Structure 1
Amino acid sequence: MPKIETSGKLLFSLMGRTYADEQLEKYFPVAKAELDGHDEANDLYKIELNDTNRPDLWSAPGLARQLRQYVSGDNPVLYDFFSTSEVSMDDGGRKLVIDESARRVRPYSVGFAATGVTVDEDILQALIQSQEKLCWNFGRKRRSIAMGVYRNDIITYPVHYRGADPDATSFVALGMEEKHTLREICTLHPKGKEYGYIVKDAPVYPFLHDDRNEPLSFPPVINSARIGAVKTGDKELFFEFSGTGLEDILLAASIIACDLADMGYAILPVTAVYPYDTPFGREITVPYYFQEPVACPLETVHAILGQKLTGEQSVQALKNMGVFSVFEKDCLYVTVPEYRNDFLHPVDVAEDVMIGRGLENFAPEMPDDFTVGRISPAEVLGRKVQELMVGMGFQEMIYNYLGSRREYIDNMHVCGKDAIFIANPMSENYEVVRPSILPSLLESESVSGHAVYPHRIFEVGKVAYKEPSENSGVVTRNHLGFLSADNDAGFNDALAYVKTLMYFLGKDYALAELAEDSRFLAGRCARVMVEGREVGVFGEIHPAVLESWGTTMPTIGAEFDLDRLG
């Protein structure tokens, strides 16, 4: 979980009053935060944040904003410098021009300027920390978001963002004294060694410079030694955000802009001009408000929280969280704050009502029903299957239930139309709920080429996929998956394992043709039918799938729906 450090001077100046540690610990749960330590001698507070969906809280200004709002219960802060699709703020001639070449590496860049406050040591450390937390945690270690802070007073607009030749483009990087090419920076500079891998295989590298060709940075790696060297005493700043997802970098820009406004800065919009279409058009004046309103029936709040609140009570609870809402026709209509993008479902509205209402206002209740604990039939079957697979010489594996599109869809050569995608994943490695066990098994096989063959592995676990007939539109099932890799592994071996499994489970079964399953080799695979319904598939894994996983050893695999089999 993200951890931040801040001086008490900065935190309490933003909150409007000083709080004792006991008071902070009382209010911190509102922001899903914990006081991790207080160094009184150095006026340093260490705070752990427990909500990965709220990157706006990962800074002293963001945390102070949430606590200040909860304590006061006043109307949420109105930030009047945001553009929308209908209204665009005056950019004062400040432009960020994106070149067509940027599309080949990191296609999006936005920015804004800030002025009016002199940077001191507390502000500088807060900016550095916000940059690190947003880019590392929310920006997937700079792979999807990179943020740069620059000296705005020596920038000549428009600023240009393009894809540059890594061997022909050079500048003096921050912390260095000589010019180096972008490719050299990736191997010579400490930040290049740490982050250069993100773009090293791209045909061009991202490069940011002003209209006089003065370099600003090589995002996502390092700033320049002149314009990119922000220090105490600076009064005018330029913030640039580049990356692979436009909504993500716009949200990061909104968070930083609101933080700066809370610290007293005046925010100066900058218009990003694209030569290609984006989800928000070709010209975007940033900060830009792109969030959609959310509606939540009051009955949904009642059902989730178990307490009947009036519309007025719910509106006030949301106000305590900094969320503006109105209550009409038995429904809450929520305007999402500029610095948040975590309202994906009415349940998120109910959660904010609960926190804003105060957990202490919900009386604990003992359960009405009591049951005797015992193993469920599904667990009994699962354990029996595990014993049978171990008895046939297979090794049990345990995997994550979240993975990437590459693992679950691309490498398996399937369309993925039934796969469940996470709407706001913190990492591309955990963006899909597992629809099958076979990809997990193949991933293990792909890194086990050094081990002595044969390889026989299995897992009994859960998968989930879309199912329109279910109320929720999705279904979770208990599955068995097994895989065997060896020089002479073939269909007959897979059939032998299936026969053994079905015999000891006492199931009468039949085989049927398996058509159009890209995971298996045509003619060397089959469906397993029990009482006229399909309970599993097995066969030889298709060579194209094996190639995608980087393995060439002949492999057989099978997957059974244990809920149907039971």
Structure 2
Amino acid sequence: MPTISVNQNDMFELLGHTYTMGELEALLLLVKGELKDIDPQSGELRIELKDTNRPDLWCPEGIARQIRYKTGRLEAGTQLRCREFAPEHRILVEPPLHAIRPYIGAFLASGVAVTEQFLTQMIQTQEKLCDGYGKKRELFAIGIYDASKLAFPVHYRAVAPESVRFAPLGSDEEMNLAEILARHPKGIEYGAILREHALYPLLQDERGDVLSFPPIINSRTSGEVRVGDQRLFVEVTGMDLEMTFHAVNILAYNFQDRGFSIEPVLTAYPYDTPYGRDVISPYPLKNEATVSCDLFERYLGMTTTIEEVQSGLAAYGVSSQLIGADTLTASTPSYRQDYMHAVDVVEDFAIAVGYDQFEPAMPERFTVGRLAPLTILEDGVRDALIGFGFEEVISNVLSNKAEFDGDALEISNPMSESYSMMRNSLLPSLLKVEAKSSKSLYPHKIFEVGEVALRDETDSHGCATQSRVAAMIAHAEANFSEMGSVLTYLAYLMGWTCSLRPVKNALFIEGRCGEILIDGKSVGIIGEVHPETLTKWGIKMPVTLFELQLTAFA
């Protein structure tokens, strides 16, 4: 969970009021926060946030903003106040970036001198967002510059690694981009993001001065913000435009809360984006959900009127509009992008009201629980495979396009590209583990019992969840017969009548792949993995696998 450091005087200034530590701890419940430590000498507070869906709260500005709604110092629906767009404030994007790092959003912040305390918090926020929400800069990265040193328009270019030289932050020596990746600490840490590309992204101003080499490092000349700077240029480059704009919006609200005036910047793309070719940021992203009043009573066990619901939501910074006698649409400012279901609105209301306001109710029925038949079957399969000398692995049900091909289910609003699909097989999960285990002593024998999601037009949701088991053997002599004997003995212990039927599958070597039949019904596949597949995953040993579904036998 994210943990941030905050100066207590800075926090109280953002809150607009001085609180005792006890009062502050109570208010931190509004952000699912816990005060972990206090340094009485420096006044530093360490706050742990027990929610990863609200990156806007990973900074003192976001925490203070959320609390100010509840204390009446900020009204629900308060929007970002941007100055009128100036046509010269533009970023021009080059076509090759579409295949490298396609999106960028930016704004200008001015009117307040940067203080030492704000600079410290700004760097912390930048790191927390990039590392946590941006997946260590892979999905997006943030750059902040002294705007007085740059000339518009800014150019977002794709350049050859040896074609440009500049002095990066933390170095007095000029280096080209390839040298930065090889020698600079940040290049070594984040260089894998770009190494597969022939061209690298570069930000330059109209004079040709380098601003940064995103997502690696800023230039020392214009990319170093100092105490006393009064006009800043803030940009975010990324792989997903909505996520990029979300980060831009969080930062813009933070600067506004510090008293800065926000000036929008237009990005001109030579290719289509989800929001057009000429896009101004900060961008008013929507975060809304429709909810009926009876849902609050059903989930919270309390009777509420629509007026009470609206009042409670307003105390959490959520605007609401009636669209019927007992139904409303709830919406938040654009620094939040966490509404996935009407239940999320109910949760906001419950947090605003306070969980201590709900009367606990004892269960009215007493029942004796027992394991479901499917769970008993899964445990039996686990015990058998462990007895055969296999080790169990547990992988995420959510994955991405790079690992799962075919008809895998995509998530329409993923929080991260790394978890944008539901897996439809356990086999890629086992291959992924093997690909990272080449230095471990062979043979490797692993298995997984887990869920997959498949399309099912007969289901009301259009998909169905299936429990499966998959096993893998990897060593220099791994072959079909070895895994076949494991499958045969497993079927014997489970009381199944098992047979195999030849089948072709691109994952396996032709002639060494079989369809698994249990009691005459097709339930899985077994085979020796094709060398091309092994090369794709970076696996150097022969591998044999089987996978079969368990749901049908429960």
Q: TM-score, normalised by structure 2?
A: 0.92
**Does the CA-based 8 Å contact 1:99-1:162 persist in structure 2?**
yes
Deviation at 1:533, TM superposition (A): 4.0
CA contact 1:153–1:237 (8 Å) conserved in 2: yes
Task: State whether structure 2 residue 71 is matched by structure 1 residue 71.
Answer: yes
- Determine the C-alpha separation between the residues in 2 that align with 1:196 and 1:123: 29
Q: Number of aligned pairs?
A: 553
- The question of whether the paired residues in 2 share the 8 Å contact of 1:105 and 1:203 is answered with no
Q: Given the alignment, which residue of 100, 105, 108 partners 1:113?
A: 108
SS of 2:381's equivalent in the other structure is: helix
SS in 2 for 1:67: helix
How many Å separate the matches in 1 of 2:396 and 2:543? 23
User: CA shift at 1:466, angstroms?
Assistant: 4.2
Cα displacement string for residues 219-258 of structure 1 (whole angstroms, at most 9, x for unaligned residues):
2122222221211111111111111111111111101111
1:33 aligns with 2:28: no
For the 8 Å contact 1:302–1:309, the answer to whether it is kept is yes
Q: Could you say what secondary structure the match of 1:539 adopts?
A: strand
Counterpart for residue 243 of structure 2: 248
What residue is the counterpart of 2:348 in the other structure?
352
Distance 2:401 2:537 in 1: 10
Match of 1:377 in 2: 373
Matched, 1:443 2:432: yes
Aligned residue runs from structure 1 range 44-443, under 5 A: 44-72=44-72, 75-81=75-81, 89-291=84-286, 293-329=288-324, 330-391=326-387, 393-402=388-397, 404-405=399-400, 408-409=403-404, 414-415=405-406, 417-419=407-409, 421=411, 423-426=413-416, 428-443=417-432
SS at 1:456's partner residue? strand
The answer to whether the Cα contact below 8 Å between 1:55 and 1:134 also exists between their aligned partners in 2 is yes
Query: Which secondary structure state, in structure 1, belongs to the residue aligned with residue 395 of structure 2?
Result: coil
SS in 2 for 1:38: strand
Q: Distance in 1 between matches of 2:184 and 2:385?
A: 52
CA contact (8 A) 1:481 1:558 kept: yes
SS in 2 for 1:27: helix
Distance between the aligned counterparts of 2:337 and 2:316, measured in 1? 14
- Could you say if the C-alpha distance between residues 228 and 558 of structure 1 is closer, same or farther in structure 2, counting changes exceeding 3 Å? same
What is the Cα deviation at residue 119 of structure 1? 1.0
Which letter maps to 1:70? K
SS at 2:162's partner residue?
coil
Does the residue aligned with 1:460 lie in a helix, a strand or coil? strand
- Which residue identity is paired with 2:448? E
AA aligned to 2:493 is F
Match of 1:15 in 2: 15
Structure 1 residues 206 and 380 mapped into 2: Cα distance closer, same or farther (>3 Å)? same
Deviation at 1:26, TM superposition (A): 0.8
Question: How many angstroms apart in 2 are the aligned matches of 1:271 and 1:188?
Answer: 34
Q: Which moved more, 1:275-284 or 1:320-329?
A: 320-329
AA in 2 matched with 1:137: G
Amino acid corresponding to residue 24 of structure 2 in structure 1: L
Whether the aligned pair in 2 keeps the contact of 1:524 and 1:539 (CA below 8 Å) is yes
> Using the alignment, how far apart are the partners of 2:439 and 2:305 within structure 1?
64
CA displacement, residues 386-405 of structure 1 (integer Å, 9 cap, x when unaligned): 333244x3312222224532
**Counterparts of 2:445 and 2:210 in 1: how far apart (Å)?**
55
TM-score by length of 1: 0.90
**Structure 1: distance between partners of 2:242 and 2:228:** 32
Q: Which amino acid aligns with 2:291?
A: C
Work out whether residues 134 and 141 of structure 2, in 8 Å CA contact, stay in contact via their aligned partners in 1. yes
Q: Closer, same or farther in 2 for the Cα pair 1:540/1:11, shift >3 Å?
A: same
Q: 1:478 aligns with which of 460, 467, 474?
A: 467
Letter in 2 for 1:10: D
Change (3 A) 1:15 1:381: same
For the residue of structure 2 that corresponds to 1:388, the secondary structure is helix
SS state at 1:52 partner: coil
CA shift, 1:381, in A, is: 2.1
Distance 1:554 1:148, change over 3 A: closer
Q: Deviation of residue 451 (structure 1)?
A: 5.5
CA deviation vs aligned residue, 1:338-393 (integer Å, no higher than 9, x gap): 101111222222221221222122222222332224443333322322333244x3
In 1, the alpha carbon distance for the partners of 2:40 and 2:442 equals 60
Cα deviation digits, residues 57-94 of structure 1 (max 9, x gap): 111111100011022286325225469xxxxx523521
Within 1, Cα distance between the matches of 2:443 and 2:347? 51
Q: For the residues of structure 1 that align with 2:197 and 2:408, how far apart are their CA atoms?
A: 32
Change in CA separation of 1:387 and 1:36 when aligned onto 2, cut-off 3 Å:
closer
Asked if the contact 1:317–1:355 (Cα under 8 Å) also holds between the matched residues in 2, the reply is no
Q: Secondary structure at the match of 2:361?
A: coil
- Note the residue ranges of structure 1 that are not aligned, 5 or more in a row: 84-88
SS of the aligned residue for 1:202 comes to: coil
Question: Hey, what's the Cα distance between the residues in 2 that align with 1:303 and 1:216?
Answer: 54
Which residue of 2 is the match for residue 86 of structure 1?
Answer: none
Contact 2:287–2:333 under 8 Å retained in 1: no
Give the root-mean-square deviation of aligned CA atoms.
2.5
Check the 8 A contact 1:401/1:433 in 2, yes or no: no
Decide whether the 8 Å contact of 1:104 with 1:203 is kept in 2. Answer: no
SS of the counterpart of 2:525?
Answer: strand
Q: Could you tell me how far 1:112 is from its partner in structure 2?
A: 0.6
Change (3 A) 1:156 1:203: same
SS at match of 1:435: coil
CA distance in structure 2 between the aligned counterparts of 1:477 and 1:494, rounded to whole angstroms: 23
Shift of 1:453: 5.2
Report if the CA contact (8 A) 1:300-1:350 is conserved.
yes
- Deviation readout 1:390-434 (Å, 9 max, x if unpaired): 44x33122222245325641xxxx31x2435483334x4444444
Q: Secondary structure at the match of 1:124?
A: helix
Q: Check the 8 A contact 2:500/2:515 in 1, yes or no.
A: yes
Q: What secondary structure is seen at the aligned counterpart in 1 of 2:492?
A: helix
For 1:73 and 1:377, the matched residues in 2 are separated by: 55
Deviation at 1:309, TM superposition (A): 2.3
State the secondary structure of the residue aligned to 1:97. strand
User: Deviation of residue 218 (structure 1)?
Assistant: 1.4
Verify: 1:500 aligned to 2:489, yes or no: yes
Give percent identity, aligned residues only.
Answer: 36
Q: Residue 486 of structure 1 contacts residue 554 of structure 1 at CA under 8 Å; is this kept in 2?
A: yes
Change (3 A) 1:365 1:434: farther
The CA distance in 2 between the partners of 1:127 and 1:452, in whole Å, is: 46
Q: Is contact 1:102–1:163 with CA below 8 Å preserved after alignment?
A: yes
Q: Is the 8 A contact 1:296 1:346 kept in 2?
A: yes
Q: For the structure 1 residues 559 and 8, does the alpha-carbon distance in structure 2 shift closer, same or farther, using more than 3 Å as the test?
A: same
Question: Residue 277 of structure 1 aligns to which amino acid in structure 2?
Answer: D
Quick check: 1:540 aligned with 2:528? yes
- For structure 2, the 5+ residue unaligned runs are none
User: What code does the residue aligned with 2:14 have?
Assistant: L
Amino acid at match of 1:419: L
| One-letter identity of the residue aligned with 1:136 | D
Structure 1 counterpart of 2:375, which letter? E
